[in-house]
Amino acid sequence: MNRTDDISNLFNRFGASADSYLEFDSHFDYKEKPLALVPTTPASVVIEAPEAAAEVVEAAPVERAIPVEAELPPVKIPQVAAPLRHLLAEVALARQAEAQARNEEALRQVLPHGRPSKTKAHVIALISGKGGVGKSTLASALATLLRVEHGQTLAIDLDPQNALQHHLGAEPDVAGMANASLQGENWNSLLLAGPAGSLLLPYGAVTEDERRTLERYLENDRFWLARQLENMALGENDVVILDTPPGRTAYLDQALMVADQVLVVVTADAACFLTLDPMQRLLDERKARGQAPQCNYVINQFDGSRAFCRDMQEVLKRRLGSDLLGAVALDHSIGEALAYGQNPLLEPGFSPACRDMRVLSDTLKAQLKSMDIAESYAS
C-alpha cells in the first residue's frame, strides 16, 4: 500500500473524497519579519484631519515603545483635610506652650541674684522620709499651740497636696503661695486667719504645668524661700511653721536652707525606720556646708496597745537618743475632728493625742528660747 492509498482510505473513513487533497512541499524557507518599533511623534509632525489617513513627516524620529515620563500630564493629588479633633489638639498644645513660655519669662524677669538676709523669725520645718505619717496634722497643731510672746505664728504649706488649709479650717480652693510666686506677688497679701490668732498661707490650687514651672524655678534659685520670707518683714518673735511634702524634693531643700529647727516625723514601723539613714545623709550634707539646723524627731500615731509598736519605739529611742523629743499617741478623734471641720485642740477636754501635742509644743518653745539666749551671747 502506498501513501496515496492511505490518504484515500482516511478520507473515505470520514465520508469525504480524496480528489480535493493537495500535498504541499514540506520545504519552506520561512523568514520572520522583525518587530518594528513605533516611532514617537516629534514636534514637527503635521497631522491631517481625523477622517483622513494621517501622513507623518518625520524629522529625525526617535524610536521608543512608550513616551517618557516627563511628557505625561501632571497628576493632581487631592488634599485630605485633617480631622477636627486633631486641629483642636494642635490649638490646645499651642495654648499650653504659650502659657508655659509666659510663666517662665515672668520667672526669669524676677529671678534675683545673691543670698538675701535671713529672716528674723524662728523657722521650724516639718519633714518626713515617707508619706502617711500625719505631718500636716502636727503642723496644724503647732500652728495652733506654738506662739512666742508679742509675736505671731505663721503656717506655710509647701506641699502641692494643699492639705494644711483643711486642718486649719481655711476655705478650700483659695489663692496660695504657688500662684503668688508665679505672679511675683508678695505673700503678705494672701495670708488667711487661722485658729488661736495664727496665720496661714496655703499652697493654693495650680495646674500641673504651673506646678512644674514653679519647681523648676525653685531648683534654679536655692534662696527662693529665704527671699520670700525676707520680703514678708517678719519680726524676731514670729514663728514660721513649714509643712513640706514627703521625700527629697525641691521644697525640702528650700526649707532646710531657712530652718532654724527641723522636726522629722516618723511612725513606729519598719518603713519609717528604713528612711532614717537617707534622712541622716541629707542632714549631714547640710552640716558639711555649714547649714545644719537643729534636728529632732517625733514618733506620731503611736499605738501603745501593740507590742510591735512598743518594740519599735524602743529601737528608735536607742537609735536617736536625745534627738527623739517624744511620741504622739494614735487618736482617732483627730481624724474625726477633721471630718467635721473642727480643731480638737480648741475643743473642751483633752484627748491623749492633744495632750502629747501640747507637750511637744512646750518642748519646741523651750528650744526656741534657748536658741535666743545662745544668739544673744554670741552677739
pLDDT digits (tens, 9 = 90+) for 186-230: 899 889 988 889 999 999 988 999 999 999 989 989 899 999 999
> Residue 184 has what pLDDT?
85
Per-residue pLDDT, averaged over 235-248, amounts to: 95
Per-residue pLDDT, averaged over 94-105, amounts to: 80
pLDDT digits (tens, 9 = 90+) for 252-265: 999 999 999 999 99
What is the SS3 assignment for 343? Answer: coil
Instruction: Please tell me the distance from the alpha carbon of residue 200 to that of residue 98, in angstroms, as a whole number.
Output: 32
The CATH number given to 119-378 is 3.40.50.300
Q: Which residue has the cell 521608543?
A: 64
Q: 0.85 exceeded by the pTM? A: no
Which of 68-77, 139-148, 368-377 reaches the highest mean pLDDT?
Answer: 139-148
Residue environment code for 138-172, b if the CB has 16+ CB neighbours within 10 A, otherwise e: bbbbbbbbbbbeebbbbbbbbbbebbbbebbbbee
Q: Is the pLDDT of residue 169 over 90?
A: no
Q: 242 pairs with which residues across the strands? A: 125, 156
> Residue 82 has what pLDDT?
74
pLDDT digits (tens, 9 = 90+) for 300-330: 999 999 999 999 999 999 999 999 999 999 9
Mean per-residue pLDDT over the chain, rounded: 81
